[in-house]
Structure 1
Amino acid sequence: MRRLLVLPTSRAGWGLLMAFVALVGAGTWPVIALVNRATLVLGLPWVVVWSYLVIFTCVVVMLIGNHIVERDDHE
């Protein structure tokens, strides 16, 4: 029978899981309410800059995850 929840087995896997949980937390309402200010950063509202940071950080974490999976497949 297939398991519903699969947990990481390595330290790198746990680190990636924690990074994804932190990113989900960074995109939730309470955090967005903290960064929703009228200040401008490079001509953009702070909440837009925060959103871009969350998106680009997600891409970086996924690239690291793909690198770890490829490394594990070759071993």
Structure 2
Amino acid sequence: MRFMVLVRSPSPLTALHGDALLRAGVLLDAGDLVPDACGVSGYWLIDVRDREEAVERMKRIALPACVVEIRQVAVV
């Protein structure tokens, strides 16, 4: 299953251990979005077994002072 992980943080995602997802072999895509009033936003597109695995992987990554949203991506 594919999930989009949206992260709002005070620093760019590249500094927030996205490489851990790459080493685990689940990262499909990543990018930073245009900063807004709430800080820097970005995303990771990951491919995992289920939502529980997606949540567990995000818990393993240090994301201090971040707002994280995990959404399933429909694959057609």
TM, length-normalised to structure 2: 0.26
Which structure would you say has the larger Rg?
Answer: 1
Which structure has more helix as a fraction of its residues?
1
TM, length-normalised to structure 1: 0.26
Report which structure shows greater RCO (CA 8 Å, sep ≥6): 2
